[in-house]
C-alpha cells in the first residue's frame, strides 16, 4: 500500500498500463498522462472511436488483442470495471507482482474529496443520484459519478474552478469496481451505503458468497469517523455490517430491526409512505411519483441517512425529495395513450429489479421482458406475475427459459424484437393498465446497453399513433 501511495503521489515518469478503453479507462489514462506518467493504454477491440484526446495527451495505444506482455514494463496497472481480474493482462500483472487497481480507486486516491459511496444489487443509481440531489439542495455541491455513468476520474479533468467548487464526491459503486481494489479495505468512503443483495453477476464472481464479499469491501476500509448505512431488513447485508470499525446506521420497514435511535423507519400510510427518524424527530413524506414503490422508499431512506451523515441540513430534505426528477430508464413514465400508461424500466436487468418494479403498480400490467439472462432463473417472478401481469410479452435470448419457468402465470406471447413487443402491447393493453418494460435480463443480446434499449422503447412508444 505504501509503495502504491508513493507511486500515485508522484506519477511523473512512471510507466503505467491502463487496460480497457471505455469511459473509465479513457478518463484514467488522461488523468495519469496529465500528471506526467508514461501511459500505455490497451483494449482488445481494434476499432475504437474518439481516441484523439488520448493521442494528443501522449498516451501510447495498443489495440486489437490482449497484450499481457505489456505488463513486463509496467510499474502499475489500472483497470476499467469491465475487465475481470481473470483476464490475461491483469492476471499477468498480478503474477509478476505489479500493483493492480481500478479507475475508481485511482480517482478516490487523487481527488482529495470526501467520498459518499453507494452499492447494492438494485437501486444504486437512483439512490446515488438522490444523494447528490439532496446534497446540492443543502448547498454541499457534489460531483456525481462512478458506475452511474461518469467516471470518478472525470472530476480531476474538470476546469479548476468547477473542481474546487465540489465538496463531496458521490459515487455509485459496482461489485466489479470493488473487485479491483488494490486491497480489500483500500477504499475508505466517509459515508458508505449498502442497499441490498440478491443474486447477480454470478457469471463473474462465481458464487453469491463471493459477490457479497465484494460488496462488503466498500465498508471494510472505514474507520470510527465514518458511517455505513445499511438495509436492516436484508439479512445478508445486516449480518455483513457486524464487526465494522465505523458507525452503522440502519433503515427498513420492520421496527423490530430498528430499535436504535439512529434508525430510519419506512412507514406505510394510506396516502403513501413516510420516513421517520426518531433521533431527530424527523418525518418526511414520500409523495413524489418518481419515488413510487416500496423499493424507492428504501432508496430514499438510505439517501436521507447518508446525506445527514454528510452534514446536510434536515430542513432541506423534504423539498429535495419532492422535486427529485428521477433517472431515465428507472420506472420512467414515457407516455399515456388512450388511458394506458407506458413505463420504461430498462434498468430492470435482473429478477429482483423486475419484482420491485412490478410492486410499484397497483393496476394490471402488460410486462415486456427478456434479453440476455444472467443464469439465476425466473421462478422468483412467478407469484408477482400471477398477481399483477395480464399479458407477458417475451423477447431475446432467454425468452424460452422465461416462458418455461413462468408457464401458467399469465397469457404469454413471444416476439422477435422490441418493435414487435410494443406493437403487440398496444393491441393488448386496456385503459387503466400499464405497459412496463422491465426485462429481468441484460440487454447485450440485442442492444449496446440498457440505456439504448430504453431509448429505443421510448422512441417506439412516442411514435405510436393516437388512433386505434
347 is known as an active-site residue: no
The catalytic residue among 122, 133, 180, 201 is 201
Residue 293 corresponds to which cell in the numbers above? 414503490
Examine the residue annotation and report whether 147 is marked as an active-site residue of this protein: yes
Listed residue (31, 112, 37) closest to 76, CA to CA: 37
The C-alpha atoms of residue 184 and residue 428 are separated, in whole angstroms, by 51
Residue 23, exposed/middle/buried by CB under 10 A (0-12, 13-18, 19+)? middle
Nearest CA to 201 out of 184, 218, 214 is that of 214
- Number of CB atoms found within 10 A of residue 9's CB: 10
Which strands form 191-194's sheet, in the order they lie side by side? 142-146, 168-172, 115-119, 191-194, 227-231, 247-252, 264-269, 272-277, 282-286
List residues bridging with 381 in a β-sheet.
Answer: none
Helix (H, G, I), strand (E, B) or coil at 463: coil
Of the chain, the end-to-end C-alpha distance in Å amounts to 65
Please state, in angstroms and rounded to a whole number, the distance separating the CA atoms of residues 20 and 439: 28
- Catalytic residue (one of 122, 124, 180, 344): 124
- Rounded to whole angstroms, the Cα distance separating 176 from 9 reads 25
Which one, of 332, 440, 427, lies nearest residue 394 by Cα? 440
Going by the DSSP 8-state scheme, the letter that residue 442 receives in this structure is B
Half-sphere exposure of 292 (CA within 13 A, CB side): 15
Q: Choose, from 122, 133, 147, 215, the residue flagged as catalytic.
A: 147
**DSSP string for 319-384:** HHHHT----TTSSEEEEEETTEEEEE-TT--SHHHHHHHHTT-SS-EEEEE-SB--SS-SGGGHHH
Q: Tell me, yes or no, if 196 is annotated catalytic.
A: no
Active-site residues, by number, are 124, 147, 201
Amino acid at each position: 500500500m505504501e509503495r502504491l501511495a508513493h507511486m500515485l503521489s508522484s506519477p511523473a515518469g512512471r510507466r503505467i498500463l491502463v487496460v480497457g478503453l471505455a469511459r473509465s479507462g479513457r478518463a484514467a489514462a488522461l488523468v495519469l498522462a496529465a500528471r506526467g506518467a508514461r501511459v500505455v493504454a490497451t483494449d482488445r477491440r481494434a476499432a475504437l472511436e474518439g481516441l484523439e484526446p488520448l493521442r494528443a495527451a501522449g498516451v501510447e495505444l495498443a489495440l486489437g488483442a490482449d497484450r499481457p506482455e505489456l505488463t513486463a514494463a509496467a510499474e502499475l496497472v489500472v483497470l476499467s470495471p469491465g475487465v475481470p481480474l481473470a483476464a490475461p493482462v491483469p492476471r499477468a500483472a498480478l503474477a509478476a507482482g505489479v500493483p493492480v487497481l481500478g479507475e475508481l480507486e485511482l480517482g478516490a486516491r487523487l481527488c482529495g474529496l470526501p467520498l459518499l459511496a453507494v452499492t447494492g444489487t438494485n437501486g444504486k443509481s437512483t439512490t446515488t443520484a438522490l444523494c447528490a440531489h439532496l446534497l446540492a439542495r443543502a448547498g454541499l455541491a457534489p460531483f456525481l459519478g462512478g458506475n452511474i455513468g461518469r467516471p470518478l476520474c472525470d472530476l480531476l479533468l474538470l476546469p479548476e474552478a468547477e473542481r474546487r467548487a465540489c465538496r463531496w464526491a458521490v459515487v455509485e459503486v459496482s461489485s466489479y469496481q470493488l473487485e479491483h481494489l488494490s486491497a480489500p479495505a483500500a477504499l475508505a468512503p466517509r459515508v458508505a451505503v449498502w442497499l441490498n443483495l440478491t443474486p447477480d453477476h454470478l457469471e463473474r464472481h462465481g458464487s453469491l458468497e463471493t459477490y457479497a464479499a465484494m460488496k462488503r469491501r466498500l465498508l471494510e476500509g472505514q474507520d470510527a469517523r465514518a458511517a455505513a448505512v445499511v438495509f436492516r431488513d436484508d439479512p445478508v447485508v445486516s449480518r455483513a455490517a457486524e464487526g465494522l470499525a465505523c458507525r452503522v446506521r440502519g433503515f427498513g420497514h420492520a421496527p423490530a430491526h430498528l430499535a436504535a435511535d439512529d434508525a430510519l423507519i419506512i412507514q406505510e400510510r394510506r396516502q403513501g409512505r413516510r420516513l421517520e427518524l426518531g433521533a431527530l424527530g424527523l418525518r418526511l413524506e414520500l409523495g413524489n411519483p418518481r419515488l413510487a414503490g416500496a423499493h424507492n422508499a428504501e432508496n430514499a431512506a438510505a439517501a436521507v441517512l447518508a446525506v445527514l451523515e454528510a452534514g446536510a441540513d434536515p430542513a432541506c430534505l423534504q423539498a429535495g425529495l419532492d422535486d427529485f426528477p428521477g433517472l431515465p430508464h428507472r420506472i420512467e413514465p414515457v407516455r399515456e395513450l388512450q388511458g394506458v400508461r407506458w413505463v420504461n424500466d430498462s434498468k430492470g436487468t435482473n429478477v429482483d429489479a423486475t419484482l420491485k418494479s412490478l410492486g410499484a403498480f397497483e393496476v394490471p400490467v402488460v410486462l415486456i421482458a427478456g434479453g440476455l439472462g444472467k443464469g439465476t432463473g425466473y421462478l422468483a417472478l412467478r407469484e408477482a406475475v400471477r398477481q399483477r401481469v395480464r399479458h407477458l410479452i417475451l423477447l431475446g435470448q432467454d425468452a424460452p427459459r422465461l416462458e418455461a419457468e413462468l408457464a401458467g402465470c399469465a397469457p404469454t406471447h413471444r416476439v422477435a424484437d422490441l418493435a414487435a413487443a410494443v406493437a403487440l402491447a398496444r393491441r393488448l393493453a386496456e385503459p387503466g393498465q400499464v405497459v412496463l418494460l422491465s426485462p429481468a435480463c441484460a440487454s447485450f443480446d440485442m442492444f449496446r446497453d440498457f440505456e439504448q434499449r430504453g431509448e429505443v422503447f421510448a422512441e417506439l412508444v412516442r411514435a405510436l399513433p393516437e388512433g386505434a
